[in-house]
Amino acid sequence: MKEALFWERKEDQKVHCSLCRFRCLIAEGQRGICGVRENQAGVLYTLVYGRSIAESVDPIEKKPLFHYYPGSLSFSVATAGCNFRCLHCQNYQIAHLPRTSRTIAGHDLPPEEIVRKAVDAGCRSISYTYTEPTIFYEYALDTAVLAKKQGLGNVFVTNGYITEEALTRIAPYLDAANVDLKGFTEKFYREVAGATLQGVLDSLKVYRKLGIWIEVTTLIIPGHNDNEADLKGIARFIAEELGREVPWHVTAFYPTYRLQDRPPTPVETLRRARDIGLDAGLRYVYEGNIAGEGGENTFCPSCGREVIERFGFRLGEIQIINGRCSFCKEPLDGVGLE
């Protein structure tokens, strides 16, 4: 255990956690909604510090991040726990474990060892992913500081529910993030994710304000968030509030966990979402989870020529020179585009 960051003591030995936007008030002996931050005698502790439950060397495209050092490797790490309750969680076995069984599973993997493994594997960055990096913030922060000293980047793959104060503290070490914008109504967020839409929208604006490169992902679930109004709302929000240069990944849903009654997302729905994004003025819109359809290639927003060819998580031909389209010389948006 390690004493947590972002909390204050309240009366009757309660503590107020301000790490994520739930801002839990936690009674003595109890845990927050994430299941991994516990009040012990009026002091808040993180139970997952140094306790990795999953790690892997991944292509950065798997995050998905298409405009952050494309073609590079990222060392991925996670602990158990999450502050959301998504009905379609792909990693529910580890994300919900602390709440369903109060078990803090994992093995010891100190920050120094993560950085060493990343360097040895030839990684360009470390990704805090699979579950929700906000809930293992202290672990991620210490690792990110060490990673920076070794010339590595740091990436969050996140539900976007971190508070502004917590994000501001880690921002000097955080280079990029893929943020889920799961839907565009409070009803969807309440019923499917157990959170609020406004909290995510506010967090996305903070990411942009702090200068962290972001890409946005929306998993399109038939009958839940695939209607015209929601898709247009998301596209308009990205274009007007975040910037036309922010990539939007519209990805296919497959039945999982507690959403077994929904069919997979049709290819036509992804095509429609991509067209909506481009019509809203977004420079880059990608179709995900359907390999071989061509929707994951990067096209120059000026001349329309293909500048990065992708086959799943592998890159094909690249037509970028010094961050510009090799055909028309248009500057392309991102980090590490060469």
CA dihedral 162, 164, 168, 170 (to 10 degrees): -10
What residue numbers bound the domain in which 85 lies? 51-296
Q: Are residues 124 and 27 in the same domain?
A: no
Confirm if 176 and 166 have CB atoms less than 8 A apart: no
Task: Indicate the pLDDT class of residue 156, thresholds 50, 70 and 90.
Answer: very high
State the Cα–Cα distance between residues 262 and 224, nearest whole angstrom.
9
Q: What pLDDT, on a 0 to 100 scale, did the predictor assign at position 100? A: 84
Mean model confidence pLDDT for the chain: 96
State the Cα–Cα distance between residues 279 and 143, nearest whole angstrom.
40
Q: Which residue(s) pair with 310 in the sheet?
A: 315
Q: What pLDDT, on a 0 to 100 scale, did the predictor assign at position 66? A: 98
Cβ atoms < 10 Å from Cβ of 26: 20
Q: What pLDDT, on a 0 to 100 scale, did the predictor assign at position 215? A: 98
Task: Indicate the pLDDT class of residue 52, thresholds 50, 70 and 90.
Answer: very high
Q: Total domain count for the chain?
A: 3
CATH code for the domain in which residue 126 is found: 3.20.20.70
State the Cα–Cα distance between residues 6 and 301, nearest whole angstrom.
42
Q: Of 212-216, 233-237, 312-316, where does mean pLDDT reach its minimum? A: 312-316
Specify the pairing of strand 248-252 against strand 285-288: parallel
Q: Are residues 186 and 272 in the same domain?
A: yes
Q: What pLDDT, on a 0 to 100 scale, did the predictor assign at position 290? A: 85
pLDDT tens sequence across 84-103: 999 999 999 999 999 888 88
Q: Which amino acid is at 43?
A: V
143 DSSP 8-state letter? H
Specify the pairing of strand 153-158 against strand 125-128: parallel
Q: Are residues 304 and 170 in the same domain?
A: no
Q: Are residues 18 and 133 in the same domain?
A: no
Q: Are residues 87 and 149 in the same domain?
A: yes
For residue 336, report the phi and psi dihedrals to the nearest 5 degrees: 75, 25
Q: Are residues 123 and 248 in the same domain?
A: yes
Q: Which residue has the tokens 């999982």?
A: 256
Confirm if 202 and 209 have CB atoms less than 8 A apart: no
Q: Which residue has the tokens 């158990």?
A: 80
pLDDT tens sequence across 269-325: 999 999 999 999 999 999 999 876 779 999 999 999 999 999 988 999 999 999 999
